[in-house]
Amino acid sequence: MSAAERGLAVIPLSRTKLPALRSPHHGVPHHGKPHHGDPQAGLPHADPTSPTPSPCRGACGRMGHGVYDASSDPHRIRELFAAAPWASGYGIACGLPPYHLIGIDLDTKSGTDAPAALRELALRHLFTIPDTVVVTTPSGGRHIWLSGPPDTVVPNSAGRLAPGIDIRGAGGYLVGPGSRTERGVYSTVPGTAHLPPAVCPAALLRLLVPAPRRRPPPPRGGVPPDPQQGQGLVQFVLAAHEGQRNTRLFWAACRAYENGIGEALTGPLTDAALRVGLTLREARSTLASAARLTGHA
């Protein structure tokens, strides 16, 4: 109710952080148990007994449509939580007025230094994160709340901006402070609970909205790019200490793609990543994230 008083639309969540209400379209009786939904899109997964998920987003008037049930109306909220008495938390829908909330989720479970990655992005793109609501997660991560413009749709993404940084935008939700999950309780960082979500910096917003795919610049004089141009980037990765490896690899790969030598440096950057201790899977995932961010995926 406190969140709703601030204009934030909420839904009940189970202890697994998933929407607590089962979809009414799966042909499965409601047994009072939380269903397994998709926290990224906010829509329930199809029940195994149902051939296809329903495209309904709440137009039927019934409950159980994930984030599309979200409301800031006190009467509706009471109805939602009365229908899910086992709920132990609440989700806050992103992308809706008045704040058009954007969530920056800094993960720590993957072994990456997401805060450092965000700092490097801020230094490179010349933006700062303003004072705003910050929520700590039971696993040690943080959710930064920002306000987006009403005419811009920010999509959900996982690791596209940088390894360990997930984005919650339109069609997604953030676990609200005070929610209790299987791993613990979500809490606001002291001194931030009273703040409104701050306006998202324009430079950061440009990174959050996918740009049209760009083709790499044509080689000068018809000569293919020389991989030796990227040896400085390879050395930058090789000099990484623990906690910097993913971040440095991501930064180097972005520079390589921007200079038209991304494909040529894929092998050398991967080798460098393996030498400093990353797994092949981690290296490939980070390189793919850099390709997506620079429009070469």
Domain boundaries, the chain: 100-208, 231-294
pLDDT digits (tens, 9 = 90+) for 36-70: 333 333 433 333 223 344 566 666 778 888 888 89
Cα–Cα distance list, 50 to 24, 42, 53, 82 (Å) = 12, 19, 7, 26
Whether the model pTM is above 0.85: no
pLDDT digits (tens, 9 = 90+) for 16-35: 999 999 888 765 333 333 33
pLDDT digits (tens, 9 = 90+) for 63-93: 888 888 899 999 999 999 999 999 999 999 9
Mapping DSSP to helix (H, G, I), strand (E, B) and coil, where does residue 232 land? Answer: helix
pLDDT digits (tens, 9 = 90+) for 276-294: 888 888 888 888 878 877 7
Give the pairing of strands 173-175 and 180-181: unpaired
- Strand partners of residue 78: none
pLDDT digits (tens, 9 = 90+) for 117-137: 899 899 888 999 999 999 999
CA 32, distance to chain mean position in Å, is: 30
CA 252, distance to chain mean position in Å, is: 22
Give the separation between CA 116 and CA 120, rounded to whole angstroms.
Answer: 6
Task: Tell me: cis bond preceding 98? Omega within 30 of 0 counts.
Answer: yes
DSSP letter, residue 168: E
Helices vs. strands in the chain: H and E counts, helices first: 8, 12
Please report the beta strands in 141-217, taking only residues with DSSP state E, as ranges in sequence order.
Answer: 142-147, 157-162, 165-168, 173-175, 180-181, 184-185, 187-188, 198-199
Mean per-residue pLDDT of the chain: 81
Give the separation between CA 64 and CA 20, rounded to whole angstroms.
Answer: 8
Cα angle for residues 289, 37, 50 (degrees, 5° grid): 115
DSSP string, 242-263: TTTHHHHHHHHHHHHHHTT-HH
- Strand partners of residue 89: 13
Please report the beta strands in 169-242, taking only residues with DSSP state E, as ranges in sequence order.
Answer: 173-175, 180-181, 184-185, 187-188, 198-199
